Amino acid sequence: LNVNAIAKGYVVDKALDAVRIPGVMAALVDIGGEIACFGQDQPGKDWVIGVQDPFSEDNDNPLSQSPFCLIKVSNMGVATSGDYRRYIELEGHKLSHIIDPRTGLPANKLPSVTIISPKAVDADALATAVSVLGIEDGLALVESIPDTEALLIAGTREKPQEYFSSGFNKYKIGKM
């Protein structure tokens, strides 16, 4: 057991705080999929971030560039949790590294959960929590938190399913 559900988000927020000095108009910090940004990439243009496709065949490559969709953000944190990069394989089945504390078993309800929130630490914690809660309860939790949105990806490579919180579309650019 470790604090990975919030550690990278916390570090990303602290790194972003460190570059908020006079004269710096904008910055984006990304540590392993946890992202925080302020300002815009270019004047009038928000930062564009690719949400990894959890069903891509090249997910074992840490430099994989296969986005499921693109989002645009400014002054927000973004975090994704899922079972497509960190997992164990047992008898031909992938098992998530995220453990459901209620059962002690891997949380295999959602291959990918992306959260957009004002702070990366909150997005990081929520992405893990929603991975455990599943679609219905996870979306209900996200909807109860102001200024927070979610993209949940379920299904299979052959038939992916996407679920959004009510305000997610304002961040979504398109599907790849």
Q: pLDDT tens-digit profile of 149-170?
A: 999 999 988 999 999 999 999 9
> What CA–CA distance (Å, rounded) separates 152 from 171?
14
pTM value? 0.89
pLDDT of residue 86: 64
pLDDT of residue 109: 82
Cβ–Cβ under 8 Å, residues 170 and 74: no
> Using CB atoms within 10 A of its CB, is residue 88 exposed (0-12), middle (13-18) or buried (19+)?
exposed
pLDDT of residue 102: 85
pLDDT of residue 97: 75
In this model, does residue 70 exceed pLDDT 80?
yes
